[in-house]
Structure formats: C-alpha cells, structure tokens
Amino acid sequence: MTRTWFITGASSGFGRLMAEKLLARGDRVAATVRRPDALDDLRAAHGERLWIANLDLRDTDAVRRTLDRAFGELGRIDVIVSNAGYGLLGAAEEATDAQVRDIIDTNLIGSIVVIRAALPHLRAQGGGRILQVSSEGGQIVYPGFSLYHATKWGIEGFVETVAREVAPFGIQFTLVEPGPARTNFGNGIVQPEPIAAYDGTPAHLTRDALFSGDWVVIGDPDRMADAMIAVGNETNPPLRLALGSTSYQAIRDALHKRLDELEAHRAITVSTDYPAEELA
C-alpha cells in the first residue's frame, strides 16, 4: 500500500536518503528543503509523487503554513519525519548569543513547531506516526557539543511527554537516536571562534578528534535510513530507537552510570520526604 511521508531537512543526510528510498519503492514524499533546487533530480525521476516546499524551521509561521498546505494538497500523511537540524562544536562560552539562539530555534523550537503543527491534522485523520530524529546525543554527551545536546535532550523530553498526551488519538512517536554515521553532518557543523584557554581540554579534544580523521565512524547511514523507514511502518513502534553499535554502547553505559549514581545517593534522596508521623 502506498504511504505518504513528510520529511524536513530532505536535501541531504538521512532526510535525502529516506526520500530516495521511499520514492524508489513507490511511496509519496513531501519534502522540505532550504535550497530550491536541492531535489531537482528526484523530482525529474518521480514527478508528482515528490512534493517539495522551501522551509526554514526558524520561521514558525512558515512551518505551520507548510504543514497545512501539505495536508491540504496531499490529503492523508501517514508519517511525519522531523529530521532537520545541525551541530555546533565548541566550548559553551565560545558560542555567540546569536549562535545559541539559532541552534535552539532550529533544532529544538523548529522541531516542536513541526510536531505541534502536525498534531491537529493527525487527530483529524484518526492517527499517524511521527519520527523525531534525535541522536545518541539526546541521552549522552560529548564535551564541546553542549548546545547541540541541549536541543536534543530538550526535544526528547518534549516528545516523550507529547507521546503520552496524544496516544488516545492513535498518534505514535519514535525518537530515533543515531550514533556517528558517515553522512555529511560534519560539513554543516558551526564552529565558534575558539578560546585558547580551552586548548588541550575536553571540548577542544573532541573537536580535534572529529576533524583529524582519527575518529573511525562505523555507522552506515544507508542501513540507518532503512531502519528508520522500517520503524515508521511498525504497528507497535518503540518510543526510542538507537541506531549503530556506538550509540547502543554509549547510551547503555550512560544509563548504568545514572542508575548507579541514583542508588549511591538514595539515603539522602529519600531523607528529604516528610516522615510518616508528620503526614498523619
């Protein structure tokens, strides 16, 4: 059965890969891009099965208009893929105020607006699926990526909450958490002006490792895109789906560490309740 997918950030990376695969198998794709000509080759190959809109997620009114137009022109949309975003690599104090606002407006607020704009349409059609592309960086951290992590941890909290709110309407969510993959993500990373005091510290060591070529990336974006499409078709999808063994191991280690720390301070934690006699 032909399905219709709405994908933000479809000009490159996972968004582009998913669009190619979905069109090749006969599905319809509504794709948003920042460059008008980014998908000319796919449009030439697939014609009306590819619907394209230019969109900057920082323009919240445009996001709402684009979702309204997509549903209005295409009818039912089965899966929303909120994928657009980018990285910022540098110590927290190195970023300018404008850079802070820009990544939050794009990665976090932009994703929230996409989801909020889609919900009334999904409720009206009796359900649907939203895939929010997060990252292993929604549950773990690398020094130097503090602002990127802030957006990913933020969208994970938002999605987990909204998933419970809209479950009665047949709307399902999956947070997709890829680990490092051989996409062009690195090409779009914003790098603030470095502060020399951070040379040799964790933030700059992350930067040096990323761009030195010594960081061996084993995640296959093609296989990850296949996994995203598969989970978009599952009847009972998981709330979170880690992709890649790097992501699996890093998230697993982080969760164990958090649990160990929680248990280590249990006595202090529970001591801050009112005692039973004071509650009587």
Question: What pLDDT score does 84 carry?
Answer: 92
Residue among 134, 135, 146, 247 flagged as catalytic: 134
CA atoms within 13 A on the CB side of 17: 17
Question: What pLDDT score does 67 carry?
Answer: 98
What's the pLDDT tens digit per position in 256-267? 999 999 999 999
Residue among 11, 142, 152, 198 flagged as catalytic: 152
Residue 123 has pLDDT above 90, yes or no: yes
Residue 137 has pLDDT above 80, yes or no: yes
Question: What pLDDT score does 158 carry?
Answer: 98
Please give the order of strands across the beta sheet that includes 171-178: 50-54, 28-33, 4-7, 79-82, 128-133, 171-178, 240-243
Question: What pLDDT score does 196 carry?
Answer: 97
Residue among 146, 148, 198, 247 flagged as catalytic: 148
Give the chain's mean pLDDT.
94
Question: What pLDDT score does 126 carry?
Answer: 97
> 257 an active-site residue?
no
Question: What pLDDT score does 186 carry?
Answer: 64
Domain boundaries, the chain: 4-244
Question: What pLDDT score does 20 carry?
Answer: 96
What's the pLDDT tens digit per position in 30-81? 999 998 789 999 999 999 999 999 999 999 999 999 999 999 999 999 999 9
96 pLDDT band, cuts 50/70/90, is very high
Mean pLDDT of the 107-124 span: 98
> 248 an active-site residue?
no
Mean pLDDT of the 124-145 span: 96
- For β-strands 79-82 and 50-54, DSSP reports them as unpaired
The crossing angle, in degrees rounded to 10, of helices 13-24 and 221-233 is 60
Question: What pLDDT score does 31 carry?
Answer: 97
Which of 3.90.1150.30, 3.40.630.30, 3.40.50.720, 1.20.140.10 would CATH assign to domain 4-244? 3.40.50.720
> 134 an active-site residue?
yes
pTM, entire model: 0.94
Residue 210 has pLDDT above 90, yes or no: no
What's the pLDDT tens digit per position in 163-206? 999 999 999 999 999 987 787 666 778 999 999 999 999 999 98
Question: What pLDDT score does 208 carry?
Answer: 87
